[in-house]
Structure 1
Amino acid sequence: MVSMKDIALKCGVSVATVSKALNGYSDIGDETRSQIKQAAAELGYFPNSAARALKTNRTYNIGVLFVDEARSGLTHEYFASVLDNFKVNVEKRGYDVTFINHHIGTRAMSYYEHCRYRGVDGVVIACVNFDEPEVVELINSDIPVVTIDHIFNNRTAIISDNIAGMRDLVTYIHSMGHRKIAYIHGADSSVTRDRVTSFYRTMEELQIEIPESYVQEGIYHDTESAASRTRELLALKSRPTCIIYPDDFACIGGINEIKEQGLHIPDDISVVGYDGLHFTQVLEPKLTTLKQDTYLLGKEAADHLISLIERPKTTLITRAVVKGKLLSGNSVSRLSH
């Protein structure tokens, strides 16, 4: 295994000089630094993680806690994209990623215990039951934590702008002439509360009354729940002309139910998703949806968590809000009044 001593011999400098050059110290000349880095690359040098951990008191290992309600794991396109962008950005900064769970082999342990066992420097938490006692234990621990799409007063949160996103969707649907707008939302969470409140507020601003039957609770990322709620909406005496779904994947369940009833989108009824996943833009008709910026969500989570790890005394607990973008698609018809 190539060591700093091998690089020092090749370059004719001290081991201390090699260490400073490779660790970004400013008291090394540019020419010397360049020579040392080139020699390190040629020799195939990699820093020893155990030695680096002893020196810096960090493992350069970040935990990811992700357990979604539908148990879809990383087949959940939205969160998979957010976490992939998180992973790419932390790896650029020299960190590895470990998924946090309840077990090491057959031994059960809490999320906090697993974090301690793996020696992670910090944790990003996304799409879990944030009220679960073990999650609360981790949130209240001494480990740096960043949450995605959920807010705790004592932790930095990276939030998609669900209030503006829902307002943009409803305003667009209204501009297309629709007044009978239904909304199938996901299970209770801070994301759901923001979206539902924004839905009601925007409809109120547009002076549209909403029948109670038009707002239904479904399940995120669940096609069967969306199909069932769609069936109920289509059976109403005065059915809606447009249905907003909790997310793009759930919307597929609604689309299937509409087609099974012999109806056409958007001629007979309009549909709208949320997330802006890639497949929605190759459907026929192309889905109208709100595209969330998964790259920026992942990058913001990485930047804020690493700042908490590396500069704990000067990094503020904050809330970063990431805006999305309306994709108009072709799944909303234009109605005349």
Structure 2
Amino acid sequence: MVTLKDIAKKCGVSVASVSKAINHMPGVGAQTAKKIRETAKSMGYLPNAAAQALKTNRTFIIGVLLEDDDSHGLLHQFFVSVLDSFKFKMEEQGYDLMLMNRTVGKRTISYLEHCRYSNMDGVFVACIDFSDPELLELADAGTPMVTIDHTYPGHPSVYSDNVDGIRKAVRYAHEKGHTRIAFISGAPAGVTNKRYEGYEGMLKELGIPVREEYYKVSRYRDVKLTKELTAELLTLPEPPTCILMPDDYAGLGGLAAIREAGLRVPEDISVIGFDGLEYMAHISPRLTTVYQDVKRIGEAAAELLLKRIDNKEKDTPAKSIKVPVSLIEGETVVPPQKS
């Protein structure tokens, strides 16, 4: 079995320096620490988790709360992609991720109890009911926590520029000649409010009337409901010529409704998604969509949480990072047919 003494001898440093480097503690230069960790890895060294926790007062475990209304959080490609980026950044610093739940064996526990039971150093929260009393309890307990698309007092958060995302979509549709632009949003939430703000604001800025019948409320990733609402829009006396979907995945329902109505995308009606999911680039016609930078969102979440864990920003207001979005021009938006 490889010991700290073996690594110290190989690197020509003290055992204390090896211990500090492996446990990501101050007192060792960045280059030396990197060399020590690389040497330890090449020698097959694995630290004892229990001993490491005693030395550092940390377990290097990060809890993950990722669960949507249908308990299918891990099927949500956008959030899973954000989590993957977050995971990579945290693992670089020696942390492991643990999915959180409300049970340990046969016993039902709260999120806070699970956090304390597993001695978690911090928690990553996304794609969940942010008003859940147990989540509010966890936020109030003072455990380092970072959230995606929602902000709790005293905790850092990361979110896309949802206002600008929808503004970009509306502006793009208008540049193509559309003035009858409908919006099917996700369920009421902070993100949804921001997107509607962008939709309404951009329409007014362009001098386009905000028509109540052109706004529908679906749910994120809900293909069935989005299909039904799209069908409703298509039966209006004056149907829209362009529809903004809640997200790329839910937009599949909208595309199906358009096909079943005997219409074509984009010849008869244009469609714009939101998320920029990679697999949507392989459908035909290729979806025009608002791209969310999942890599940057995940990295930013990791950076903020690490600073909280290290107490580097303990006495400063919690940061909220807004990540820019971009519009991906696909093949689902063309000028509307002349009446």
The answer to which of 75-84 and 1-10 deviates more is 1-10
Deviates more, 1:53-62 or 1:313-322: 313-322
Q: Does 1:84 align with 2:79?
A: no
Greater mean deviation of Cα atoms: 149-158 or 230-239: 149-158
Question: What is residue 133 of structure 1 aligned with on the other side?
Answer: 133
Matched residue, 1:174? 174
The residue aligned with 1:212 is 212
Letter in 2 for 1:98: M
- Counterpart residue type for residue 119 of structure 1: N
> Match of 2:148?
148
Q: Give secondary structure in 1 for the equivalent of 2:275.
A: coil
Q: Which residue identity is paired with 1:325? A: S
Classify 1:171/1:46 alpha carbon distance in 2 versus 1 (closer, same or farther; 3 Å).
same
Question: Secondary structure, in 3 states, of the residue corresponding to 2:290?
Answer: strand
1:183–1:243 contact (8 Å) kept in structure 2: yes
Asked if structure 2 preserves the Cα contact closer than 8 Å seen for 1:151 and 1:190, the reply is no
- Distance verdict in 2 for CA 1:286–1:105, change over 3 Å: same
Distance 2:271 2:253 in 1: 11
- Asked whether 1:318 is paired with 2:319, we answer yes
* Structure 1 residues 268 and 45: alpha-carbon distance in aligned structure 2, compared to 1, 3 A threshold: same
The separation in 1 between residues aligned to 2:198 and 2:115, in whole angstroms, is 37
Check conservation: 2:17, 2:28, Cα contact below 8 A.
no
Q: Call closer, same or farther: CA 1:27–1:251 in 2, change over 3 Å.
A: closer
Q: TM-score, normalised by structure 1?
A: 0.93
| Counterpart check, 1:52 vs 2:79 | no
Cα offset for 1:291? 0.5
Q: Please state how far the C-alpha of 1:150 moved relative to its aligned partner.
A: 0.8
Match of 1:72, as an amino acid?
A: H
Tell me, which stretches of 5 or more residues in structure 1 are unaligned?
A: none
Change (3 A) 1:73 1:208: same
Matched, 1:335 2:336: yes
Counterpart residue type for residue 124 of structure 1: F
Please say which of residues 36-45 and 101-110 is displaced more in the overlay. Answer: 36-45
Which residue in the other structure is 2:270 paired with? Answer: 270
Would the alpha carbon gap of residues 144 and 37 (structure 1) be closer, same or farther in structure 2, given more than 3 Å must change?
closer
Match of 2:116 in 1: 116
Aligned partners of 2:303, 2:294: CA distance in 1, in Å? 14
Q: Which residue of 2 aligns with 1:299?
A: 299
Query: Which residue matches 1:157?
Result: 157
Q: Given that residues 308 and 315 in structure 1 are in contact (C-alpha distance below 8 angstroms), is that contact kept between their aligned partners in structure 2?
A: no
Instruction: Decide whether the 8 Å contact of 1:307 with 1:315 is kept in 2.
Output: no
Q: Structure 2 length normalisation: TM-score?
A: 0.92
Q: Which range moves more in the overlay, 20-29 or 71-80?
A: 20-29
Percent identity between the aligned chains?
A: 44
* Counterpart residue type for residue 326 of structure 2: K
2:196 aligned counterpart, secondary structure: helix
Q: What is the alpha-carbon root mean square deviation over aligned residues?
A: 2.3
After superposition, the Cα gap between the structure-2 partners of 1:261 and 1:4, relative to the gap in structure 1 and judged at 3 Å, is: same
Note if contact 1:271-1:332 (Cα within 8 Å) is conserved in structure 2. Answer: yes
Aligned residue for 1:265, secondary structure, equals: coil
Residues 17, 28 of structure 1: 8 Å contact kept = no
Deviations, residues 80-102 of structure 1 (Å, cap 9, x unaligned): 10111111110011100011111
Instruction: Map 1:183-194; keep pairs closer than 5 Å.
Output: 183-194=183-194
CA 112–216 in structure 1, closer or farther in 2 if over 3 Å, else same: same
How many correspondences in the alignment?
Answer: 336
